[in-house]
Amino acid sequence: MNGAIRLGLVTTFAGLMATTLPPGAHAQPAAKAASGSSAKSIVDAATADAAKRAAFVKTGQRVAEFCANCHGENGTSKMADVPNLAGQNVEYIFEQMRKFLAGERRDDTAFMKGLLKALKPEEKAAIASHYAQSPPIPARSAAGPNAVRGKTVYTTRCVQCHGEDGAGAETMPRVAGQQTDYLNISLERYRNRTGARLFAPMTESMRGLSKEDVVALVDYLSSMR
């Protein structure tokens, strides 16, 4: 996305949050979660009764309107290099928000930081919950040309963490049906050890894979349902 457009989105988002968040919401920079809190604990507390649940759902929908500019209306991205969030695991999304703010994810960090720093933990959890409940739509309607080879790579290298269906679990991301360019960029960063993505188990899993293996893996993953 054009840099000027992204800057405009950040500015607009920050302005809206300043007018819609309750008093005191900006008392602490970067809206840090309480020690030991998790997305699940926040979601559980925020949905303890019908009234709270309704407000929580509305919060997720409202804040996600800005995410839709890149990630699509219901979390299905319209850009091949921007990840789908539909059907993604709540804890994973929540943790990635923390990593962006902490500088542990360095892909487009400044842009993501600009959007996330105004949010409270409850709002981040609401976004994560909103997307987790959206039905995932695969990036590809049919398997890519090297999907057979990709399935072999996936079964050998990836299935233990991401599951046979590619849905992941908790802090392990859903990779099934993910956008092609996003998959390729992310996997290459792990394979080449650029430091843009920091997660030792993934770096180890990518060890020894060729560029052709990555292409095949993308062909398989992008059409998984």
Length of the chain measured in residues? 225
At residue 107's C-alpha, the angle toward residues 204 and 105, to 5°, is 60
CA atoms within 13 A on the CB side of 74: 7
pLDDT of the chain, 225 residues: tens digit per residue: 544 444 444 444 444 444 344 333 333 333 334 334 899 999 999 999 999 999 999 999 999 998 999 999 899 998 999 999 999 999 999 999 999 998 888 776 678 888 899 899 999 999 999 999 999 999 999 999 999 999 999 999 999 999 999 999 999 999 999 999 999 999 999 999 988 888 999 999 999 999 999 999 999 999 999
Architecture of domain 147-221 in CATH? Orthogonal Bundle (1.10)
The model's pTM is 0.81
Query: Any idea which fold 3-132 has?
Result: Cytochrome Bc1 Complex; Chain D, domain 2 (1.10.760)
> Are both 3-132 and 147-221 of the same fold?
yes
At residue 219's C-alpha, the angle toward residues 171 and 137, to 5°, is 60
Q: How far apart are CA 111 and CA 32, in angstroms?
A: 18
State the distance between the two ends of the chain, measured CA to CA, in whole angstroms: 27
Structure tokens at 148: 């057979």
Domains of the chain: which residue ranges? 3-132, 147-221
